[in-house]
Amino acid sequence: MWERKTDRKSLNRRVLIAGFTTRHVASSAYAAGYQVCAVDHFCDHDLSRYADDCLTFNDLDSLPAAIQEMSGRHSCDIFVPTSGAEILPVGIPRYGPVPERAATFLDKGLTSCFFQETGVPAPATLLERTYPAMVKPRSGSGGWRNAVLHNDEQWRKWKEDLDDPPALWQEVVEGTPASVCCVTDGTRARAVAVNEQLLRGGEDAAYGFSGSITPFVHPFADELVRSAENIASASGCTGTIGVDFVVGETPYAIEVNPRFQGTVDTVEMATGINLFSLHVDACEGRIPDKMPVPGQFAARKILFARDDLQVGEDLINFPFVADVPWPGSNIEKGGAIVSVYGWGPSRRDAILMLDKHISTVQQYIGRTS
């Protein structure tokens, strides 16, 4: 069983974490010794282990009011945004990129321009209706709406399904999805871990994030570290940020995530560090002298529902799961159910354990993908 190392020295500081999903940040903050309040779309069962108070919201339009309500309930020392809250104004000291810097990287078109200006190898931008192309909404996270399009009929359907969002067209680059987790003080940066990213695949949401493996052992790993540190240093962001790559014959930078990434758990499991502590240090001007050395491999996979389902069993006491839904929760087809973990001295060992744990979980939650 893996357990986070816990440091309770910060018990006099309270952090408000807000965004579409917060469990990964809340668990790290709790382990770092912070009192936690969370504003979260799901408020999963295990979030209650880490947060003294949790408030749900329905959609992003209702998130500001929920943050204001939580701020009225508790006096918080730190505000940390996750996905959906990066540019919201709050009256609490923000630990993370200022909204103006975050906004640059929440717009994939502006991010592409940033890569060009900084001389970072990245997929070329294409004119609309140039095929084949990787087409992405200019805003949004998780990659689930990205698609490779080959003709006008696919373009028409993509626009129709997604209500015709502003889109970025790029050349298609083949390779392994990867990311580098960094911490930065706004001018200096240090890589914390290189991760292999797992994508959903299939026809729907093929490029959606579905997990990670840390570390990513690859001949280009050192180059990814150097590139990510240069990008993070030039970004003007503070705290922990992630740089996504596709690694084929050469690495291409894809996106910058100006917030905690979905790789938090595998980074901490593999390296033994506490990422929230590093995040706070970076926001206060302290950067690690060197990159931590992984002590093991860690893998996480998000399970998605193949059909509509209602959660019957309570998985809260399984030591190898997170993002645990409350019993009785209704999950629509394609929705995320739970995260499952594996770890071991090699990538193969971590994957074998992950597969074993997935088989166990599937006995309790029904059909997943």
30 in a structural domain: yes
pLDDT band at residue 4 under the 50/70/90 scheme: low
pLDDT of residue 364: 86
Q: What is the CATH number of the domain that holds 30?
A: 3.40.50.20
Do 124 and 206 sit in the same domain of this protein? Answer: no
Do 299 and 221 sit in the same domain of this protein? Answer: yes
Query: What average pLDDT does the structure give for the chain?
Result: 95
Do 185 and 318 sit in the same domain of this protein? Answer: yes
Do 88 and 154 sit in the same domain of this protein? Answer: no
pLDDT band at residue 203 under the 50/70/90 scheme: confident
Do 213 and 282 sit in the same domain of this protein? Answer: yes
- pLDDT above 90 covers a percentage of the chain that reads 91
- Of 112, 137, 170, the residue at which a domain comes to its end is 170
70 in a structural domain: yes
Give the mean model confidence (pLDDT) for residues 188-205.
Answer: 93
3 in a structural domain: no
Do 74 and 187 sit in the same domain of this protein? Answer: no
* Tens of pLDDT, residues 87-133: 999 999 999 999 999 999 999 999 999 999 999 999 999 999 999 99
Do 193 and 274 sit in the same domain of this protein? Answer: yes
* Tens of pLDDT, residues 129-163: 999 999 999 998 888 899 999 999 999 999 999 99
- pLDDT above 70 covers a percentage of the chain that reads 96
**Can you give the chain as a three-state secondary structure string?**
CCCCCCCHHHCCCEEEEEECCCHHHHHHHHHCCCEEEEEECCCCCCHHHHCCEEEECCCHHHHHHHHHHHHHHCCCCEEEECCCCCCCCCCCCECCCCHHHHHHHHCHHHHHHHHHHHCCCCCCECCCCCCCEEEEECCCCCCCCCEEECCHHHHHHHHHHCCCCCEEEECCCCCEEEEEEEEECCCCEEEEEEEEEEECCCCCCCCCEEEEEECCCCCCHHHHHHHHHHHHHHHCCCEEEEEEEEECCCEEEEEEECCCCCCHHHHHHHHCCCHHHHHHHHHCCCCCCCCCCCCCEEEEEEEEECCCEECCCCCCCCCCEECCCCCCCEECCCCEEEEEEEEECCHHHHHHHHHHHHHHHHHHHCCEC
pLDDT band at residue 265 under the 50/70/90 scheme: very high
Give the mean model confidence (pLDDT) for residues 228-248.
Answer: 98
Domain span at residue 251 reads 176-365
- Of 136, 170, 204, the residue at which a domain comes to its end is 170
Number of domains in the chain: 3
Q: What is the CATH number of the domain that holds 237?
A: 3.30.470.20
- Of 43, 76, 94, the residue at which a domain comes to its end is 94
* Tens of pLDDT, residues 315-343: 999 999 999 999 999 999 999 999 999 99
Do 45 and 138 sit in the same domain of this protein? Answer: no
Q: Above 60 in pLDDT, residue 34?
A: yes
Do 212 and 236 sit in the same domain of this protein? Answer: yes
Do 25 and 143 sit in the same domain of this protein? Answer: no
**Candidate from 7-11, 20-24, 218-222, 236-240 with smallest mean pLDDT:** 7-11
103 in a structural domain: no
pLDDT of residue 1: 45
pLDDT of residue 3: 57
Give the mean model confidence (pLDDT) for residues 180-196.
Answer: 98
* Tens of pLDDT, residues 38-78: 999 999 999 999 999 999 999 999 999 999 999 999 999 99
Do 151 and 184 sit in the same domain of this protein? Answer: no
Do 19 and 154 sit in the same domain of this protein? Answer: no
